[in-house]
Amino acid sequence: MTEELLNLPVPSVPAGDRGVAWLRAHVVRFSNGAEHARRRALTTELIENVEVTTLDELATALGLPGSLPDIALIAPCYQPHEAVTAEADAAVEQLASRHDEETAARIGLLVQAWAATHAFAEHLRTGSPAPPVPVTRRVAGDDLVEVPLDAHPFGHGPHTCPGRRIATRLAKNLAFRAMHHQDEPLVLPNAWDLASAAALHAAGFRAIGTTSLGVAAAHGLEDGAGLAGDQAVRLARTLADLPCPVTADLEAGFGAAPEEVGELVAGLGVAGVNLEDGRPHGLADPREQAALVTAVKERAPGVFLNARIDTYWLGLSHDETEERARRYVDAGADGIFVAGLTEPRDIERLAALAPLNVLAQARTPKQLGELGVKRVSTGSLLFRAALRHTVTTALRVRDGEPAGDAFGYAEVQDLVSRGTRSAAG
């Protein structure tokens, strides 16, 4: 029944030649019939090859650089049932260099992206299953009906959102960034394949990471040597379609030049990446690592870059760690990750520089949060535990003992089926 209602016409809007009234009257969102078909084709063409990681990048791609403050004024007044402010009218006129359908399409796309992605991101952050826009309106005979969008968060039929792909990525990026600025630290489990990632998301985790050891070892390769690049990238692209933000461990960039790593990150579709300064035979020069960080952030500003500092693995001083942390943050890193960091005083000092990520070790997430930690990841722990459980279960079978708990066959099939479908929202 809902699908039938969503195929009905949208309510008409009054004609207008200036401000929000003009915008409403010339966008695809509030039109029907041949007018709608023409405007939809125009809108689809405008975003067909757009690849962006932030709303600012989208504004630039649509020929409206620096327009987000104006868009923020227009968005609350965009829907026909909402009152229009003088500020919103002025903002439309500020952006409308020409009063034609293409200009309206560019502004309308950005307004809808602004409103939907912010709402969508908040739902992803909190784990709300509600659609970013709860209801839409359709004309049924002489009546105006409200249609719930629970089963169709991006619409259905003629008015299906043409920007679903872009909106989903932007919302995941916004949500993942916000997860690093909460009162409680983000607990991030690390998966090594689609099934493990889908199972973790189904268990209630709102974001998933990958583990370079798990990915490399599962393919018979050594971790940290830059050998599992193809496998890590392939997994990241697959997990990017999960209905939650995903961050990928890219080791040190697998030997690629900084600009190449930037292109890779921009095209992966994930909300975050880890880049480490450890190398097979020691640590990278911090200046070179900072240049890598900058190159990635310039190309993919909306992707959360977690700069991993491997000094503690090598027994180096805290001063060396802090110096590297400051350099990477200055270069654009969004967060820092110090594997092996456990001393409370050192944790507090580094947590003051940027969102700090530590491994799940001696303290609880709550205790780490009290020290200022914003992200607690499991690293390779889950993969190593799964490997141990695999061997233990096999030994029990061999020795005639109960095998213990395991997912059912149908459960795994269902996880993979749902996990490969992008249902974010």
What is the tens place of the pLDDT at every residue in 320-361? 999 999 999 999 999 999 999 999 999 999 999 999 999 998
Across 212-240, average pLDDT? 94
> Has residue 225 been placed in a domain?
yes
Do 114 and 178 fall within a single domain?
no
Do 350 and 239 fall within a single domain?
yes
Do 112 and 190 fall within a single domain?
no
The predicted structure's pLDDT at residue 200: 97
What is the tens place of the pLDDT at every residue in 243-271? 999 999 999 999 999 999 999 999 999 99
Nearest-angstrom CA–CA distance, 344 and 161:
48
> Has residue 408 been placed in a domain?
no
Do 188 and 327 fall within a single domain?
yes
Helix (H) or strand (E) holding 190: strand 190-191
Do 190 and 110 fall within a single domain?
no
Nearest-angstrom CA–CA distance, 125 and 122:
5
Residue 150 pLDDT level (bands cut at 50, 70, 90): confident
Angle at 109 between CA 148 and CA 266, to 5 degrees: 105
Choosing from 127, 157, 182, the residue where a domain stops is 127
Do 38 and 183 fall within a single domain?
no
CB atoms under 10 Å from CB of 17, counted, come to 9
The predicted structure's pLDDT at residue 151: 84
Per DSSP, the three-state class of 337 is strand
The predicted structure's pLDDT at residue 425: 39
How far, CA to CA in Å, does 255 sit from each of 94, 258, 277? 46, 9, 12
Do 353 and 215 fall within a single domain?
yes
> Has residue 425 been placed in a domain?
no
Do 179 and 121 fall within a single domain?
no
Nearest-angstrom CA–CA distance, 131 and 309:
38
> Has residue 59 been placed in a domain?
yes
The predicted structure's pLDDT at residue 179: 98
The predicted structure's pLDDT at residue 113: 93
Residue 421 pLDDT level (bands cut at 50, 70, 90): low
The predicted structure's pLDDT at residue 140: 83
Whichever domain contains 368, its CATH number is 3.20.20.60
Convert 298-351 into a string of H (helix), E (strand) and C (coil).
Answer: HHCCCCEEEEEECCHHHCCCHHHHHHHHHHHHHCCCCEEEECCCCCHHHHHHHH
Do 194 and 64 fall within a single domain?
no
> Has residue 143 been placed in a domain?
no
> Has residue 189 been placed in a domain?
yes
Do 328 and 213 fall within a single domain?
yes
Do 263 and 331 fall within a single domain?
yes
Do 331 and 235 fall within a single domain?
yes
Angle between helices 286-299 and 318-330 (to 10 degrees): 30
> Has residue 333 been placed in a domain?
yes
Locate 286 and state its tokens: 């911090």
Domains of the chain: total: 2
| Parent domain of 351 | 173-387
The predicted structure's pLDDT at residue 193: 97
Mean pLDDT over each residue of the chain, to the nearest integer = 94
> Has residue 141 been placed in a domain?
no
